[in-house]
Chains A and B, each alone.
Chain A
Amino acid sequence: MKAHSLFARTALVLGLVFLYLPILSMIVFSFNNSRLVTVWDAAHSPTLKWYVALLSNEQILRAAWLSIRIAVISASAAVVLGTLAGMALARLGAFRGRMLLAGMTAAPIVMPEVITGLSLLLLFVALEQLIGWPKGVGAVTITLAHITFCMAYVTVVVQSRLAGFDESLEEAAMDLGARPLRVFLRITLPLILPAIASGWLLAFTLSWDDLVITQFVAGPGSSTLPMVIFSKVRFGVTPDVNALATIMVLLVATGIAISTVWMRARQKRRARDLQLAAAANL
């Protein structure tokens, strides 16, 4: 193996420090005994008291539960809509309004969040005046707003998966007597499921930590977790926020670790199968 140059090693270390030092310091301070975030109380640390305090903090628990529900619902709805849009863009060829649809689905990705949030708020207010729904701003409007921007990301993920899809698989299914809906359910859907799953996870994460758009369309009593954290931090960072953030980091890291291990195992199995098949070549 080539010896790594000093430059490459320095760059790696600097990059890692740059990315992870803030998170690391947050984790360390979540075990701090002192009320002051910046002072390390060496005598009584580490302690789990902020974690215990967290469990009895009604406000945070409620916000977390609301965020999870909104994220699950928006991610699921965004996956359905995004998959349909992705299918249309990847498959229907040049239909009327294709450019418009492509542009519209991509817009939320490039649009400044402030503008998306503001325009959604205006829409919801206008809708309420016109048809009386949605009643005020709150969890419903947050969910609708999240679906809107999450869908754009799902569309992109699904569309790129479909671009590399061997269409003769669908033709073969049709040739064997399957009607278009069955072809979709039995062949297309199972094969793009990995893309849909990663689209769902992406949408979940985006919804989970969105603050700007949510601020616009949230109402009293519908504070999501990022909103609660943000408002707490405005009056100075408290150590229980550190504990909360540490738990979130832990959850995300576990998720990534599991999926990485699973992908590795799958790849290994596949490579072994291919070798066996080549050896048995008739």
Chain B
Amino acid sequence: MKLDPDSAYVRIANLTKRFGDFVAVDDVSLDIRRGEIFCLLGGSGSGKTTLLRMLAGFESPSAGTIRIDGADMSAIPPYERPVNMMFQSYALFPHMSVERNVAFGLEQEGVGREQIRRQVGEILDIVKMGGFGARKPHQLSGGQRQRVALARALVKRPKLLLLDEPLAALDKKLREHTQFELINIQQRLGVTFIVVTHDQEEAMTLGTRLGVMNHGKIAQIGTPSDIYESPATRFVADFIGSVNMFEGRVSDDGADYLRIQCGELGCTVRAERTVSCTRGATVWTAIRPEKINISRQPFGAGAPQAGSAENLVRGTVREIAYMGDMSIYLVQIDSGRMMRVTLPNIMRGAERPIAREESVWLSWHGSSPVILTE
């Protein structure tokens, strides 16, 4: 068999799932490559879990097909699919020891006792649970249970591993640590991962590619930086990270730039041209908080009049939230709207930090705004 890393390893075509009148997954088509970590990101009710359960075989599609490594999965029951799943609750069998839990999958295949022992030992070592084989699940901490669940799902070397909110039950410190370990293990074993999560940070660090889901549809597919820096829709821009969004009208349509008249913003936005739109069209300007410059003096020479300048607005600082590594400023601009600006705290104890109720200028580079048409 020829190995083409870019070809679709898992091919989901026109997949739909209805529960009565409710459409949980709506005509989703999606290709997943061999060896990647694909993250399905979405809020509750976005259909991501239903999609995962269809991949595992627990739900049968109302329409559409799933192919894994070329084989149609429609008529294959869950216990015959080359797919394993790590459950959000971990679903460790409470009446079996760690070893028996991990061995369960191999036992179903009729693997010899000696080989089971060896493979279970190996995988427990990989997840650093080597010394815990005789423990029962309730004798383990949350992090340890998570590792055992991972080992149990990986021991059969599935073609595809499905992970349902794999880190949701862990506390923050442990979660960060586990994220990187999960990536390590994935690279070591080369198993294709599909991760379902509602946590964008988790999706960004784990995923080689993300699929953002909304109302049963895929809103956008791309690398984490694609999704963050070039969101395709207002939903995606708003869902991933925080964003300042203003409605406006295209007033000038240059070869490589757009001018947008933004009443809500009180200035003209000049942005790099990334979308095709005609003059007079309604668009939305999305600017990430960390891409905005905050200063006491307006940027550049002279003191332009507020309202006539491009990519420059005046405002008053209303709130400052000190986060340690950075500070969040909530600035009320002259049009009355609030804008969110974040600044990294590079210097220890800056000499004259911007204070509340101080008058400031906000500006940004022409490459910073993203222009959205839907």
Contact = CB atoms under 8 A, between A and B. Distances in A.
B139 A182 contact: no
A32 to B, nearest CB: 51
Contact of A176 (B108, B141, B143): B108
B9 to A, nearest CB: 19
B109 A177 contact: yes
A179 interface: yes
Contact of B78 (A171, A190, A274, A276): A171
B138 A274 contact: yes
Given A166-B89, A169-B91, A171-B87, A178 B139 contact: no
Contacts of B93: 169, 172-173, 187
B322 interface: no
B79 A177 contact: yes
Interface in A176-198: 176-179, 182, 186-187, 190-191
Interface string A125-152: 0000000000000000000000000000
B12 interface: no
A58 interface: no
A191 B94 contact: yes
B108 A175 contact: no
B138 A175 contact: no
B2 interface: no
B104 A191 contact: no
B91 A273 contact: no
Contact of A168 (B87, B105, B109): B87
Contacts of B87: 168, 171-172
A166 B91 contact: yes
A228 B194 CA distance: 69
Contacts of B104: 173, 176, 178, 186
Contacts of A178: 79, 104, 108
Interface string B108-120: 1100000000000
Counting chain B residues whose Cβ lies within 8 A of the other chain, the interface size class is 20 to 34
Nearest to B143: A282
A277 interface: yes
B85 A276 contact: no
B53 to A, nearest CB: 9
Interface string B217-231: 000000000000000
B128 to A, nearest CB: 9
A280 interface: yes
Contact of A175 (B78, B95, B136, B143): B78
Given A169-B93, A190-B95, A191-B94, A174 B139 contact: no
A191 B137 CA distance: 14
A259 B91 CA distance: 29
A276 B141 CA distance: 9
Interface string B78-105: 1110011101110101110000000011
A175 B84 contact: yes
Contacts of A176: 79, 84, 104-105, 108, 152, 156
Q: Label chain A's interface by main secondary structure.
A: helix
A273 B135 CA distance: 10
A175 B361 CA distance: 58
A168 B80 CA distance: 17
A277 B138 contact: yes
A241 B88 CA distance: 59
A270 B80 CA distance: 36
B144 interface: yes
Nearest to B142: A281
Interface in A236-282: 270, 273-274, 276-278, 280-282
B94 A171 contact: no
Contacts, number: 80
Counting chain A residues whose Cβ lies within 8 A of the other chain, the interface size class is 20 to 34
A34 to B, nearest CB: 55
B156 A177 contact: yes
Given A168-B91, A191-B94, A280 B105 contact: no
Interface in A66-98: none
A59 to B, nearest CB: 46
Contacts of A177: 79-80, 105, 108-109, 156
B140 interface: yes
Interface in A184-220: 186-187, 190-191
B169 interface: no
B79 A171 contact: no
Contacts of A173: 93, 104
Given A174-B78, A191-B95, A282 B144 contact: yes
B152 A273 contact: no
A277 B139 contact: yes
B141 A172 contact: no
B174 interface: yes
B83 A175 contact: yes
Interface string B145-175: 0000000110010000000000000000010
Nearest to A176: B105
Closest 4 CB pairs of A and B: A177-B108, A176-B105, A172-B91, A281-B141
Given A171-B58, A177-B105, A186-B104, 13 more contacts: A168-B89, A171-B85, A172-B91, A174-B78, A175-B83, A175-B153, A176-B104, A176-B105, A177-B108, A177-B109, A182-B108, A190-B95, A274-B139
26 contacts: A166-B91, A168-B87, A168-B88, A168-B91, A169-B93, A171-B78, A171-B87, A171-B91, A174-B58, A174-B79, A175-B56, A175-B57, A175-B58, A175-B78, A175-B153, A177-B80, A177-B156, A182-B108, A186-B104, A190-B95, A191-B94, A191-B95, A270-B138, A273-B136, A277-B140, A280-B141
Interface of A: 166, 168-169, 171-179, 182, 186-187, 190-191, 270, 273-274, 276-278, 280-282
